[in-house]
Amino acid sequence: MPTPAIKICGISTPEALEATIRARADYAGFVFFARSPRNVSPTQAADLGARAQGRIRRVGLFVDADDSTIAEAVDAAGLDVLQLHGRETPERAAQLRSRFGIPVWKAMAIASIGDVARAHAYAGAADLMLFDAKTPTGALPGGMGLSFDWSLVAHWNGPLKWGLAGGLTAGNVGHAIALTGAPLVDTSSGVESAPGMKDLDRIAAFCTAVRAA
Ligand SMILES: O=C(O)c1ccccc1NCC(=O)[C@H](O)[C@H](O)COP(=O)(O)O
């Protein structure tokens, strides 16, 4: 099985970005959501985006954002991918892909097999389905370090590319990959010492664990 692609999400400092590039991750995620402890301003995004250009692909994470918010982030950070982490419909995903001309990833909150089935509606509308844990009502819709029953998506054979997120750490990602065959893994809390505080050693350890899986 090929090594899964790696995304480190919630990067908000140059130090964390450099550690992510050093660890040979494939994607760096920037969160554009005011309620998040990882939220980046357009100014921060511009600085991080320029540092990342040509070295790692830049993913912008949005939660039910309007077009002007996304346009400002795309321009500031030079985003390569849009990640939609709210209640965006297939129609909205397709509209954003057409407007911005870059790949769109849709996060799907999973608590049951019925949630996994909903992913099929995004075929042709999104480029990748990111299966993540469902979070409690009123909490952030992601980035909570919560995992779900990975067997629900084991060797998913759906109509679009996919990835696994939610509570992944250096300690459990090998098992998650072995169980699911995920072609991409995504972590945020699992490489932090506190919400929003990236731990450079944990970033390195996570990437090493993925390659060892
Ligand atoms: O990171 C956030 O603060 C966040 C806020 C709102 C929606 C999603 C958010 N994060 C999602 C991610 O960072 C990842 O794509 C994924 O959910 C992994 O999170 P974690 O369980 O913390 O590893």
pLDDT (0 to 100) of residue 1: 77
Cα–Cα distance list, 180 to 97, 128, 162, 174 (Å): 28, 16, 11, 10
126 Cβ closer than 6 Å to some ligand 1 atom: no
Beta strands 81-84 and 104-110 are parallel
187 Cβ closer than 6 Å to some ligand 1 atom: yes
- Structural domains of the chain, count: 1
Is there a contact between 5 and 28 (Cβ–Cβ < 8 Å)?
no
The dihedral formed by the CA atoms of 168, 169, 175 and 181, expressed in degrees to the nearest 10:
50
State the number of CA atoms in the 13 A half-sphere of 143 facing the CB: 30
CATH of the domain at 166: 3.20.20.70
pLDDT (0 to 100) of residue 2: 84
* Domain span holding position 68: 5-212
Amino acid at 168: L
For residue 141, give the ligand 1 atom closest to its CA.
7
For residue 83, give the ligand 1 atom closest to its CA.
15
CA atoms of 16 and 199, how far apart (whole Å)? 8
pLDDT (0 to 100) of residue 15: 98
Contacts of residue 35, defined as CB under 8 A and 6 or more positions apart, other chains included, come to 140
Specify whether the backbone of 159 is left (phi greater than 0), alpha (psi in -120 to 50) or beta.
alpha
| Residue 207 among the catalytic residues | no
Distance from chain centroid for Cα 6 = 9
Q: Give me the average pLDDT of each 10-residue run along the chain (213 residues).
A: 94 98 98 97 97 98 98 98 98 98 98 96 98 94 95 97 98 98 98 97 98 95
Record the pTM.
0.96
Nearest CA to 127 among 175, 94, 89, 176? 94
Q: Out of 12, 85, 104, 146, give the residue to mutate to test ligand 1, the one with the largest number of ligand atoms within 8 Å of its CB.
A: 85
CA atoms of 45 and 72, how far apart (whole Å)? 10
Q: Out of 35, 132, 206, give the residue to mutate to test ligand 1, the one with the largest number of ligand atoms within 8 Å of its CB.
A: 132
106 Cβ closer than 6 Å to some ligand 1 atom: no
